[in-house]
Amino acid sequence: MIVMGIDIGSVAAKAVVLDASGNTVLSRVMIPTGWDHRRALTDITDLATSTAGISSGDIHTRVLTGYGRVAGKDDMPVVSEIACHAKGAHFLFPEAGSVIDIGGQDSKAICLGPDGAVTDFAMNDKCAAGTGRFVSMVATLLGHNLDAFAKLAEKGNPLPINSMCAVFAESEIVGLLAKGHDPADIAAGVCHSIASRTAGLASRLGFKAQLCVFSGGLAGNPVISTSLETHLSKPVIPAPFPQFVGALGAAILASQQ
Partner 1 sequence: MESIDKLNAFFEYNPVRVQDAKKAGKKVVGTYCLYSPYEIAIAAGGIPVSLCGTRNDSIPAAESELPRTLCPLIKSSYGFLLNDSCPYLAASDIIIADTTCDGKKKMFELMAQKVGMIILQLPHNQNPEVGLPYWTNQFEILADRLEEEFDTVISEEKLRDAITLMNDERVALKRLMDTTMYIPSPLKGTQLLEVVFKSGFLPDKKTGISLLHEAAEELENLGKQGVSPYSQDTPRILLTGVPVGLGCHKVITLLEECGASLVCLDTCGGYKKTALMVDPGSPPDKKALLAALAERYLSIPCSVMSPNPNRYSTLARLVKEFSADGVLDLTWQGCHTYNVEAFSIKKYVQDQLSLPYLQLETDYSEGDTEQLRVRIEAFLEIVKAGK
Residues in contact with partner 1 by the rule CB under 8 A: 67, 79-83, 106, 117-121, 123, 125-126, 204
Amino acid in position 114? P
* Cβ 120 to partner 1 shortest distance, Å: 8
Output 158 or 246, the one with its CB closest to partner 1.
Answer: 246
- Cβ density class 244-256: b for 16+ within 10 Å, e for less: bbbbbbbbbbbbe
* Cβ 51 to partner 1 shortest distance, Å: 28
* Cβ 235 to partner 1 shortest distance, Å: 25
Output 121 or 214, the one with its CB closest to partner 1.
Answer: 121
Find the helix or strand (DSSP H, E) in which 91 lies. helix 81-92
Output 82 or 142, the one with its CB closest to partner 1.
Answer: 82
Beta-bridge mates of residue 124? 107
Output 67 or 241, the one with its CB closest to partner 1.
Answer: 67
Output 113 or 143, the one with its CB closest to partner 1.
Answer: 113
| Helix 132-141, helix 166-178: angle, nearest 10 | 30
Output 125 or 229, the one with its CB closest to partner 1.
Answer: 125
Task: Return the closest-CA partner of residue 225 out of 200, 191, 190.
Answer: 191
Bin 180: left if φ > 0, else alpha if -120 < ψ < 50, else beta: left
* Cβ 86 to partner 1 shortest distance, Å: 9
* Cβ 60 to partner 1 shortest distance, Å: 22
DSSP-assigned letters across all residues of 97-126: -EEEEE-SS-EEEEEE-GGG-EEEEEEE-S
Task: Return the closest-CA partner of residue 195 out of 162, 229, 168.
Answer: 229
* Cβ 118 to partner 1 shortest distance, Å: 5
How do beta strands 98-102 and 107-112 pair? antiparallel
